[in-house]
Structure 1
Amino acid sequence: MSVARNTAHEPANAAAALRSRPWAASLILTAGLAVLLLGMGASISFGVADIAWRTVWEAVLHYNPDLSQHQIIHEIRLPRVLGAALVGASLAVAGAIMQGVTRNPMADSGLLGLNAGAGLAMAICMAMFPGLPFMYMILYAFMGAGLGAGTVFGLSSAGRGGMTPIRLVLAGAAVSALLAALSEGIALYYRIGQDLAFWFAGGVAGIKWLQVETMLPWMAAALVGALLLSKSVTLLSLGDDVATGLGQRTLLVKAAAAVIVIVLAGASVSVAGAVSFIGLIVPHVTRALVGVDYRWVIPCSAVLGSLLMTLADLAARMVNPPVETPVGAIIALLGVPFFLYLTRRDGRGIA
């Protein structure tokens, strides 16, 4: 009887999930992009050497290599700001997909081993292959992220009862701690601690045009793939039985989602280090605003994630100038209380 009842309600459940708030999503996309542009402009303008907004505008539209301020904007601040926006969008979308596919409100690339796995791969690259081109380093980061995620999901699925949200978080914490310890051990043994300190703290200060140009095609392809997969993720968020009853090939969708998440997380860690909690906070806020239709959740998460990372990077430079506070620490000030809030409530499904 229960099977018949669930099957009968599958179309109704799916229709309810797809009835989101497109007007709210349109407002977020429009206003979010406008605020993001303002935030990027402010991030380019403010720093150790403050630059007038008019100069920023002139440097972007009419770059003059003979002017020192134009050089600062074009060679240092512009790639940094663009990199921060890309990283924020990628981590937010990765978190949204993970939460939708696993139906785990705690899912985040930083909490489930992807960031730590990519960080370990970066440590191995810097120790074993110094001077390796960034193109190859980003490939190693993909493999490290896949290793971390595979280990976490394998451990949380082992034993009786299978994978549960609590077991997934505990496995993620344990594996992340192990991989981080291995990274630190490699850093100490090969004396590359100063080089890896950037990845441990998290930040976008070292992003150059080479990194932006290398990671942009990967991130763009993964973000487009996430949009194409958005309707299937919505159905999966209702449960495997519902998705299967509506004709979804759940294993294929999960495999495609895993590849997208690995690319987004690996590319982000390769340039910004272990920045956590963006993929935890942003999808929850987005779903609260626009509903649970991932055709809206994913693009809105990308915009809000970009905005959060851009403003966090700006705050990191303004807290204690001229010294920069790690961006990971700034975001953790928001992420840790949010994580504690989620653990206190009964959150077995997606909020």
Structure 2
Amino acid sequence: MDEALLRSLTPDVITALVRRGADFAAAEDAVQDALVEAVRVWPADRPRDAKGWLVTVAWRKFLDAARSDAARRRREDRAEEEPPPGPAPAVDDTLQLYFLCAHPSLTPASAVALTLRAVGGLTTRQIARAYLVPEPTMAQRISRAKRTVAGARFDRPGDVATVLRVLYLVFNEGYSGEVDLAAEAVRLTRQLAAAVDHPEAAGLLALMLLHHARRAARTAADGSLVPLAEQDRGRWDTALIAEGVGILQSALARDRLGEFQAQAAIAALHADAPTAEETDWAQIVEWYDELARLTDSPIVRLNRAVAVGEADGPRAGLAALAGLDASLPRHTAVAAYLHERDGDTATAARLYAEAAHKAPNLAERDHLTRQAARLNRAGRTRP
């Protein structure tokens, strides 16, 4: 059974049913039933037109459900004649499905879950495992999201920026359990970038590829985090880097700079450096300045403080950090790093330990704890 094929066909089949008159929630349920039927039937009798088969079976499933529900009788009457079987039209409506799943009335978490379910073709169990929540919890989240967009139709363009934000959230979840969300986000963003003429879609794809290229070097054999400066650059995926840089250059040439393009430019400068010491930190600071202008984000300014510390020295980095809210995520860890660079190891050790208590995940907490322990050991052995 070609699971990848089924997942790739899911959004088109859902959209075909919506265009025939099904509401989104009913269409999505019917398509899931059709996918189950495909898993049962296809190994022995695979159809020539896989999409057409799924559309036909899903439409029958939808009509069966409609007939059993008196509240849906009028909708059934409008569509009482089943369209004849045959090749499905080669129309890609996936873009509209992206917009629907990133509907502004949905919370970010619900938009992510619905996108993975309807566009990505993942099961509720897979999504729940990826997000480390019970399956019933994820099922409720997806059901609420489907009810929220049930009345929406594919009759107006959606907001590409919202879709990109949802895909960025998916990518940042990385990898958990049986579902590689980073790879899934790359796949869906490739699909989006091919369907929409938007430089920020290309920028996000480039950013994902450039970050994904470093994935193998980010953790040691024992699962511990490896900071960027200490990573074995020979383990970086040069093909992904080259592809990401090429996509970014094409996007930047359109002179419509956006935040994902700026982030990708920073990632490209890291990828271009043969060693950490050869990183062009001055240019990275310039890109952070552009990014801060575009977003006015305190997190961007926090990352800029690190870059300033590398380009102009730790005192300059601490000065840039001084104007930021100390409650920002990673603020304490950044302060610890800059104090260590400045030679104040006692303060750095204390801040690393404090940052470890605030860490959002176990891997980061362990890394910060080790940094504090390293400096404390060095302090005890120093004459």
Q: Tell me if TM exceeds 0.5.
A: no
When Rg is computed on C-alpha atoms for both structures, the one with the higher figure is 2
Greater helix share, 1 or 2?
1
* TM-score bracket relative to the smaller structure: under 0.3
